[in-house]
Structure 1
Amino acid sequence: MATAEPAAEQRQTLRFLWLYALAAAGGAVSYVPFLTLLLPVRATEMVGDGNIDLLAYIAFAGAITASLANIGFGWLSDATGTRRPWIVAGLVLSCVLLVSVRTTSNPSELIGLVVVWQVALNMMLAPLAAWAGDVVPDRQKGFLGGLLSFAPALGAASGALVTLPGLAGPDERLVLVAALVAGMVLPVILFGRPIPMPDLTEPVTRLKNTPPRFPRGAVARMWLARLLVQIAEAALFAYLLIWLTGIDASFTDSDTARIFALVLGLSVPLALFAGRWSDRRDRPILPLAWGAGVGALGLVIMALAQGIEGAIGGYLVFGLSTSVFLALHSSQTLRVLPKPATRGRDLGLFNLTNTVPSLIMPWLTLALVPLFGFSGLFFLLAGLAALATVLLLTMPKSPAPSN
């Protein structure tokens, strides 16, 4: 007669992991095409040449709102002891508000609606991120990170889909995005049925001879390492086209989009391989250190590049390595958080590493590029990525328990 697998050895079902990855990708689809394509079009229709100022106000207000809402709804899902009702409520409200953007008639209405939409969106995203920590054991977190690499790729692909010529008008595209998000998030709610993992949700009560695998300082190192890499990522996302056209004036936005698509596509199998390797070898942090380190090398290549081939090659090295880093970091962060009871709130604090770089990066660029060119900026960003590598390679571990 077969015996039940011990809780420490139990695995989550592949059905849940794949459906969860689909829902996480739905989270990316909920904001990537809107913020990068549909919102700029709406702003241009509304104010014409004043669109840059309007988008700047929206980006600033949205980043602040998203940061606070992510922490708040993470905490609320902790306090109520449930994730799925918050996810469903956030899904419904954010989709309704997204479709309502087409009813705005002036900049104040548009800014206000986007701010409220950010609140509803993070009502969905914060509990969704914490749910993985409740039900995915450590031995599968590398694989989970690999699956999460689908999210940015599908987010970008959704933008290309909804803007296909002749498919839908500007207003109908908002409806199409909302339908895509619902179709990607709801399956895990309805059919996921994860195996309960009580050891991942019960309060931490450690015996004297069983210390945590990572001490508390590991959380700060993981947070700072992601922040440093995200600053570099944000700078490249914002200024890659400008830099490349400065090297070769014939380079177009379409060429840049193809490079982004290539990086996102190649990063998926690479992240899956690295994640499975980290699970089998029980080395969760090493792929992160390699990702940050190779990313620093890519930035150095970019800083030294004299022609378009070297520039593109350097970016491919940087983009692939940091895409893998960010995907795996999202799942391995769940491993080092100290308290299951505050997992949602703590992930909200980690989410600041996604929003704060957009506030830091413009000032770095304005300070360095006029004096030293983009090479100076890339050398600084390489230093930040190298520092992230050192933080991860030197992360202390608790000693093995004594017998």
Structure 2
Amino acid sequence: MTAAEAGAPQRQSLRFMWLYALAAAGGAVSYVPFLTLLLPVRVTELVAEENIDLLAYIAFAGAITASLANIGFGWLSDLTGSRKPWIFGGLVLSCLMLVTVRTASDPLELIGLIVIWQLSINMMLAPLAAWAGDVVPDGQKGFLGGLLSFAPALGAASGALVTIPGLAGPDERLVMVAGLVAAMVLPVLLFGKPQSMPQLMRAVGEPGEAVRTFSRGAVSRMWLARLLVQIAEAALFAYLLIWLVSVDPGFSDNDTARLFAIVLALSVPLALIAGRWSDSRDRPILPLALGAGVGAVGLVIMALAQDMAGAIIGYVVFGLSTSVFLALHSSQTLRVLPKPATRGRDLGLFNLTNTVPSLIMPWLTLALVPVFGFGGLFVVLAALAALATLLLITMPRSN
């Protein structure tokens, strides 16, 4: 056993941590502005009033593809024992496919291009997520979660940037997004050079393994809690612009992008504080439970909103709390997975909590909104977030 293993816990270098956070943010930039802003605009250009239906079909096909691709490419990176080549290959292909989307001339062609884009982007994202589990020790996972909160914030900021009126046309916006992604992901591949953490590569029961503080039952609770919160997050992710326009027809796509960016920017210091606190107090789950619970309150406020002021207040509460929840959950999930040799595959299975909601949410929305309006949808989503809170606050530790 090395001195580092026998004495004070090893810590990963801050250089790698920050470059990794930049790359994770690049992953968000690769899909957040596209799926929330650029794709709805493209869909509306193609089918006008039938935009909600086509977005539902795209979300369905894309979610199935992303689910399988994330598991598959995570597993392949496990088998090869190397993450970086897969990340680089996925970066190149996903940027190319993003730019190619502008050539779609009918709904079927657009769906096909989105499917191929989802394959390539998950070739990058799956190994990237697993890489953090390979090299970031448990004592820094709260801090890692705080850093990961930059990802959705910068994803939203990129949406606000590329939709500035007069800056670029619809086609040029796709090129701008691809350039931003490359500039953010490449530095960690070229200059990251993380310190080796051999204890993180040992399975449960092996000598020198990292200490496990949660039982196997924690995996299922963590999975289900994230799924429930992500169903609500997916609904707002896909229909935020449409809902806000229904409240105030004068609310533009750039207004939505700026609101999205402001909320996520404010969530960054909150996530960093919560992550640091969870590391210092060894309470990794409490911030997650609070995030889900406050998110439920935000959804209730949104359901009751009668004007734009109420809508914005509700969304700010929901957005801040669930952004902290999702960032910290992503890092603390690495704590509960028991098999380092299949970390990429297992994270792909956890990624189903990100993609399965896109299979559930469109049909939930189509079933509830025409009858009860968005208010009825938000009440159901608030109940799901409350259930996630209950799962987390009752999760036992193994020691």
TM-score (norm 2): 0.90
| Contact 1:7–1:197 under 8 Å retained in 2 | no
Report the Cα offset of residue 245 of structure 1.
5.5
Q: Deviations over 1:318-337 (max 9, x none)?
A: 21111100111011100011
Match for residue 67 of structure 1? 67
2-structure distance, mates of 1:104, 1:29: 21
| Contact 2:228–2:385 under 8 Å retained in 1 | yes
What are the equivalent positions in structure 2 for 1:151-300 lying under 5 Å apart? 151-206=151-206, 212-241=212-241, 243-244=243-244, 255-300=255-300
Pairwise CA RMSD:
2.6
What are the equivalent positions in structure 2 for 1:356-367 lying under 5 Å apart? 356-367=356-367
Match for residue 93 of structure 1? 93
One-letter identity of the residue aligned with 1:137: P
Identify the range of structure 1 (157-166 vs 316-325) with the bigger mean alpha-carbon deviation: 157-166
Match for residue 322 of structure 1? 322
Identify the range of structure 1 (326-335 vs 305-314) with the bigger mean alpha-carbon deviation: 305-314
Report the Cα offset of residue 193 of structure 1.
0.5
Q: Deviations over 1:104-146 (max 9, x none)?
A: 4544443323212211111110000000000000010111111
Identify the range of structure 1 (338-347 vs 167-176) with the bigger mean alpha-carbon deviation: 167-176
Q: Deviations over 1:342-395 (max 9, x none)?
A: 111111111111111122223333444455544443332222111111111111
Report the Cα offset of residue 257 of structure 1.
3.8
| Contact 2:28–2:152 under 8 Å retained in 1 | yes
| Contact 2:66–2:118 under 8 Å retained in 1 | yes
| Contact 1:44–1:51 under 8 Å retained in 2 | yes
1:108–1:318 CA distance, 2 compared to 1 (3 A): closer
Q: Deviations over 1:159-217 (max 9, x none)?
A: 2223334444433333322221111111001100000000111233257xx98311111
What SS does the aligned partner of 1:214 have?
coil
Where in structure 2 are there 5+ consecutive unaligned residues?
none
What SS does the aligned partner of 1:98 have?
helix
Match for residue 344 of structure 1? 344
Report the Cα offset of residue 62 of structure 1.
1.4
| Contact 2:59–2:359 under 8 Å retained in 1 | no
| Contact 2:227–2:354 under 8 Å retained in 1 | yes
Q: Deviations over 1:238-288 (max 9, x none)?
A: 444555566566655555444322211110111111111111111111100
One-letter identity of the residue aligned with 2:318: F
1-structure distance, mates of 2:304, 2:46: 42
% same residue? 81
What SS does the aligned partner of 2:351 have?
helix
| Contact 1:78–1:343 under 8 Å retained in 2 | yes
**Larger radius of gyration between Structure 1 and Structure 2:** 1
2-structure distance, mates of 1:248, 1:169: 25
Match for residue 146 of structure 1? 146
Match for residue 31 of structure 2? 31
2-structure distance, mates of 1:91, 1:202: 29
1:211–1:200 CA distance, 2 compared to 1 (3 A): closer
Report the Cα offset of residue 23 of structure 1.
0.2
| Contact 2:232–2:381 under 8 Å retained in 1 | yes
2-structure distance, mates of 1:211, 1:171: 50
Where in structure 1 are there 5+ consecutive unaligned residues?
none
Aligned residue pairs total 395
| Contact 1:211–1:398 under 8 Å retained in 2 | no
Report the Cα offset of residue 56 of structure 1.
3.8
1:219–1:43 CA distance, 2 compared to 1 (3 A): same
1-structure distance, mates of 2:44, 2:248: 28
| Contact 2:24–2:185 under 8 Å retained in 1 | yes
| Contact 1:202–1:340 under 8 Å retained in 2 | yes
One-letter identity of the residue aligned with 1:347: L
